[in-house]
């Protein structure tokens, strides 16, 4: 089974296209061309798995606080660009003819490929010619899969950061624990990025947390005891994990950066 099941293309209130993907069992994801941002991921029972803030502003040029903003070419304020770079505030296009990916990245998945190229203005801020290809896919099992490919289209080397700034929907932050970050070093954004080592076996949350865990393993689990749901987050080629929890809001943004 190999299908690219784009079910529907709609326009949001600003006239920007959104693409709905659905798997045969009915699990779905919706991605906006604004920012290449996944805004929804639903189970086959229709339950939303991503959080979007009720205060999110759906009006360009604001970034949307919710779903999965793409941070590129900078994560956070670690660089000269605006917070999280410009990709989350740009209009992406659908790439009808992307360079081939590994067959496993297509097999049994419903997917769409998006493309971002720098505008003249972007090149003034960040003078590097790139093509950013993003594949968003939903698997036969209802998993959400994202693959990013950044191509340097001239010969001058450049470095960048990328993050999937994923806002997971959880029931009650007091009922959540995270496994897979034990014993790692992290930079604490609430303490001027000072470096600490994680001591606990699993992580629970009692107050605001804003950290980047360094060189994490490729599987992290987020257990939500109240909703009896476990998110398993698998990554490849992205070394670090960030974790931000705002209190008292019931959301657990989770992100990966490199
Ligand atoms: O408000 P935004 O620009 O979307 O950033 C949202 C969050 O991004 C990261 O998680 C940073 O570590 C946080 O300090 C920041 O609050």
Q: 211 labelled as ligand-binding?
A: no
- pLDDT digit string, tens, across residues 63-88: 999 999 999 999 999 899 999 999 99
Is CATH 2.40.30.10 what the domain over 1-169 is classified as, yes or no?
Answer: no
Question: Measured at the alpha carbon of residue 109, what is the angle toward residues 107 and 112, in degrees to the nearest 5?
Answer: 115
Averaged pLDDT for residues 14-25: 96
- The CA–CA distances, whole Å, from 105 to 38, 44, 147 equal 18, 21, 8
**Residues sharing a CB contact under 8 Å with residue 168, sequence separation 6 or more, in sequence order:** 49, 50, 51, 222, 231, 251, 252, 253, 254
Q: Is any ligand 1 atom within 6 A of the Cβ of residue 84?
A: yes
End-to-end CA, the chain: 33
Domain residue spans of the chain: 1-169, 171-258
Which residue among 76, 188, 193 is best mutated to probe the pocket of ligand 1, counting the most ligand atoms within 8 A of its Cβ?
Answer: 76
- What ipTM was reported for this prediction? 0.95
- Separation of alpha carbons 61 and 59, rounded Å: 6
**Residue 108 φ/ψ region, left for φ over 0, alpha for ψ in the -120 to 50 degree band, beta for the rest:** left
* Residue 2's pLDDT band (cuts 50, 70, 90): very low
Q: Is any ligand 1 atom within 6 A of the Cβ of residue 28?
A: no
Which residue has the CA at smallest separation from atom 9 of ligand 1?
76
Q: Does residue 255 carry a pLDDT above 60?
A: no
Which residue has the CA at smallest separation from atom 3 of ligand 1?
83
Q: Are strands 37-42 and 229-234 parallel, antiparallel or unpaired?
A: unpaired
Q: Does residue 44 carry a pLDDT above 70?
A: yes
Q: Are 79 and 163 in contact (CB under 8 A)?
A: no
Q: Is any ligand 1 atom within 6 A of the Cβ of residue 77?
A: no
């Amino acid at each position: 089974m190999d299908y690219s099941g784009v079910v529907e293309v709609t326009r949001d209130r600003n006239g920007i296209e959104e693409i709905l993907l659905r798997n045969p069992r009915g699990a779905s994801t919706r991605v906006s061309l604004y920012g290449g941002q996944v805004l929804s991921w639903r189970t086959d029972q229709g339950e939303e798995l991503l959080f979007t803030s009720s205060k999110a502003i759906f009006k360009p040029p604001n970034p949307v606080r919710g779903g999965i903003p793409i941070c590129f070419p900078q994560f956070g304020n670690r660089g000269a660009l605006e917070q999280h770079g410009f990709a989350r505030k740009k209009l992406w296009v659908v790439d009808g003819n992307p360079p081939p990916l590994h067959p496993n990245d297509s097999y049994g998945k419903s997917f769409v490929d998006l493309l971002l190229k720098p505008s003249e203005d972007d090149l003034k801020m960040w003078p590097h010619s790139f093509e950013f290809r993003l594949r968003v896919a939903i698997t036969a099992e209802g998993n959400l899969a994202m693959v990013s490919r950044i191509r340097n289209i001239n010969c001058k080397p450049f470095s960048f950061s990328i993050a999937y700034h994923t806002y997971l929907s959880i029931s009650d932050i007091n009922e959540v624990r995270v496994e897979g970050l034990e014993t790692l070093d992290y930079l604490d954004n609430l303490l001027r990025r000072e470096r600490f080592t994680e001591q606990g076996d699993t992580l629970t949350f009692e107050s605001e947390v804003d950290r980047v865990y360094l060189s994490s393993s490729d599987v992290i689990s987020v257990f939500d005891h109240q909703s009896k749901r476990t998110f398993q987050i698998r990554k490849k080629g992205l070394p670090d994990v960030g974790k931000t929890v705002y209190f008292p809001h019931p959301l657990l943004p989770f992100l990966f950066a490199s």
